[in-house]
Amino acid sequence: MSFSQKGRMNKKELIAFENDVRELFLDKRIRFPCHLSGGNEDALLGLFEEVKPEDWVFSTHRNHYHALLHGFGPDKLKEWLCTYGSMHVYGDGFFTSGIVGGILPIALGVALGIKRNRGKNHVWCFIGDMAGYTGMFSECLTYAEGHKLPITFVVEDNSFSVNTPTKEAWGTGHGFDKRYYKYRRKYPHQGSGDWVVF
pLDDT of residue 164: 72
Q: What is the mean pLDDT of residues 150-155?
A: 96
**pLDDT surpasses 50 at 168:** yes
**Band of residue 182 on the pLDDT scale cut at 50, 70, 90:** confident
pLDDT of residue 175: 53
Name the more confident of 193 and 52.
52
Residue 45's CB is within 10 A of a number of other CB atoms, namely 18
pLDDT at 1 over 60: no
Calpha distance 18→86 (Å, rounded): 12
Residue 189 CA: distances (Å) to CA of 36, 62, 71, 128, 134: 8, 9, 25, 12, 19
The answer to whether the pTM exceeds 0.85 is no
Residue 181 has pLDDT above 90, yes or no: no
Q: Whole-angstrom Cα distance, residue 49 to residue 162?
A: 29
Which domains are assigned to the chain?
Answer: 11-182 (3.40.50.970)
Give residue 10's pLDDT.
95
CA 173, CA 129: separation in Å to the nearest integer?
Answer: 10
Angle ∠(111,73,71) on CA atoms, nearest 5: 30
Question: What would the mean pLDDT of 61-81 be, rounded to a whole number?
Answer: 94
Phi/psi for 164 (5° steps) reads: -95, 130
